[in-house]
């Protein structure tokens, strides 16, 4: 690992952490536009996070140290995930340490800690949220793994940069298996990031919440970190999707400075389009009943398996 790759690695993580709330703001702004509302502006998540950092934290008397620890675990997990996802370029020295399976494990770790913290206080809403979050989680993870396996079969590697390099450098061939995997991944993305139709991030109805119910007891800096990691999670997932299914424009192989710099606006543009697409999906759909979520995620799993089969049978 030389100093240049270290710098590119760090730049990539820092850019992800800084830009993640912007993506969230963009999605919310698009949603507002699609609903004929003016919207709070794309910078609103930053204002929110700043406001929360300036408040005094209120913590329940019976909270254990775990409750205080979890926001940091969340944020750290998402930063680590950002370090191994080739969002701008594939030459990521840290990525050698963790492949796609480890990445899924990283997301799972974050979720388990969040569920533990939700149950820690002992309120009805926390336990209810934790229960629902785990229900969504244990159905989404296999589907996500299947998506990664489909992509791994094409590149014969589970390392994310290798997969992306293969896909990006390969001839402009169309992989039918990836089409199935792409739809499956989109469904997992919606479920994992608590978006409509699985969860409603904008709701104030405590009984319908999934993700929000798990963080009801958090305030101030803890809540700021959680909101930031939620934004970062969405950013990470979107970048995984873009890297797997639309890898063009990423700086691959031996980077020249020009490639590196060019990758930033291209990725930015792709994120804008993806954010708008997400807002469109959320505006067109209603939230489904919570017991439809298993059906929804089972379909995602099925599609991912189909992708795998298509690859094995057709060899493409």
CA 53 to chain centre: 23
Q: Distance from first CA to last CA of the chain, Å, rounded?
A: 35
Which regions of 171-269 does DSSP assign to beta strands (E)? none
Among 8, 11, 155, 283, binds other proteins (CB under 8 A): 283
Q: Toward other proteins, which CB reaches closer, 109 or 203? A: 203
Q: Residue 284 CB, nearest distance to other proteins (Å)? A: 8
Q: Toward other proteins, which CB reaches closer, 171 or 289? A: 289
Would you count residue 215 as binding other proteins (CB under 8 A)? no
Among 134, 179, 262, 288, binds other proteins (CB under 8 A): 288
Would you count residue 257 as binding other proteins (CB under 8 A)? no
Percent helix, strand, coil in the chain (nearest 5)?
75, 0, 25
CA-based nearest residue to 224, from 11, 60, 63, 20: 20
Distance between CA atoms of residues 75 and 304, nearest Å:
29
Would you count residue 166 as binding other proteins (CB under 8 A)? no
Give the number of C-alpha atoms closer than 13 A to the C-alpha of residue 304, restricted to the C-beta side: 26
Distance between CA atoms of residues 144 and 297, nearest Å:
10
Whether residue 209 contacts residue 203, with contact meaning beta carbons closer than 8 Å, is answered with: yes
Q: Residue 199 CB, nearest distance to other proteins (Å)? A: 9
Would you count residue 290 as binding other proteins (CB under 8 A)? yes
Whether residue 86 contacts residue 164, with contact meaning beta carbons closer than 8 Å, is answered with: yes
The residue count for binding other proteins (CB under 8 A) is: 28
The residue written with tokens 């803890």 in the block is 222
User: Which residues are CB-neighbours of 132 under 8 A, at least 6 positions away?
Assistant: 210, 213, 290
Q: Toward other proteins, which CB reaches closer, 186 or 196? A: 196
Would you count residue 216 as binding other proteins (CB under 8 A)? yes
* Contact stretch for other proteins (CB under 8 A) within 30-38, 100-108, 186-194, 220-228: 30-38
Q: Toward other proteins, which CB reaches closer, 21 or 129? A: 129
Q: Toward other proteins, which CB reaches closer, 165 or 212? A: 212
Would you count residue 208 as binding other proteins (CB under 8 A)? yes
Q: Residue 305 CB, nearest distance to other proteins (Å)? A: 25
Would you count residue 44 as binding other proteins (CB under 8 A)? no
CA-based nearest residue to 71, from 203, 221, 266, 241: 221
Q: Toward other proteins, which CB reaches closer, 12 or 282? A: 282
* Contact stretch for other proteins (CB under 8 A) within 205-213, 233-241, 248-256, 304-312: 205-213
Whether residue 267 contacts residue 19, with contact meaning beta carbons closer than 8 Å, is answered with: no
Whether residue 197 contacts residue 286, with contact meaning beta carbons closer than 8 Å, is answered with: yes
CA-CA distances (angstroms) from residue 137 to 16, 73, 144, 205, 239? 24, 17, 10, 21, 20
Would you count residue 254 as binding other proteins (CB under 8 A)? no
Would you count residue 205 as binding other proteins (CB under 8 A)? yes
Q: Residue 285 CB, nearest distance to other proteins (Å)? A: 5
* Contact stretch for other proteins (CB under 8 A) within 29-37, 82-90, 159-167, 221-229: 29-37
Would you count residue 62 as binding other proteins (CB under 8 A)? no
Binding-site ranges for other proteins (CB under 8 A): 31, 34-37, 124-125, 128, 196-197, 200, 202-208, 216, 283, 285-292
């Amino acid at each position: 690992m030389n100093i240049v790759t270290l710098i590119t690695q760090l730049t990539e993580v820092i850019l992800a952490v800084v830009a993640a709330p912007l993506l969230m703001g963009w999605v919310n702004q698009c949603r507002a536009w699609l609903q004929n509302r003016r919207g709070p502006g794309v910078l609103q998540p930053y204002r929110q996070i700043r406001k929360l950092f300036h408040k005094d934290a209120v913590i329940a008397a019976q909270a254990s140290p775990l409750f205080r620890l979890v926001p940091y675990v969340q944020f750290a997990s998402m930063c680590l995930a950002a370090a191994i996802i080739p969002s701008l370029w594939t030459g990521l020295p840290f990525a050698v340490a963790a492949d796609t399976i480890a990445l899924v494990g990283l997301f799972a770790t974050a979720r388990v800690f969040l569920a533990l913290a939700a149950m820690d206080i002992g309120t009805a809403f926390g336990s209810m949220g934790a229960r629902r979050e785990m229900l969504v989680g244990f159905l989404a993870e296999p589907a996500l793994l299947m998506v990664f396996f489909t992509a791994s079969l094409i590149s014969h590697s589970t390392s994310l940069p290798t997969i992306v390099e293969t896909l990006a450098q390969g001839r402009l061939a169309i992989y039918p298996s990836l089409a199935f995997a792409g739809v499956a991944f989109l469904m997992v993305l919606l479920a994992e990031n608590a978006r409509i139709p699985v969860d409603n991030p904008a709701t104030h109805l405590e009984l319908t919440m999934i993700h929000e119910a798990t963080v009801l007891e958090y305030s101030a800096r803890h809540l700021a970190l959680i909101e930031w990691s939620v934004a970062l999670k969405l950013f990470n997932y979107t970048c995984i999707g873009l890297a797997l299914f639309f890898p063009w424009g990423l700086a691959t192989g031996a980077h020249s400075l020009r490639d590196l710099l060019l990758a930033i606006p291209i990725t930015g543009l792709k994120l804008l389009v993806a954010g708008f697409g997400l807002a469109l999906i959320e505006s067109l759909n209603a939230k489904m009943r919570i017991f439809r979520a298993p059906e929804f995620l089972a379909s995602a799993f099925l599609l991912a398996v189909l992708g795998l089969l298509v690859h094995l049978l057709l060899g493409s």
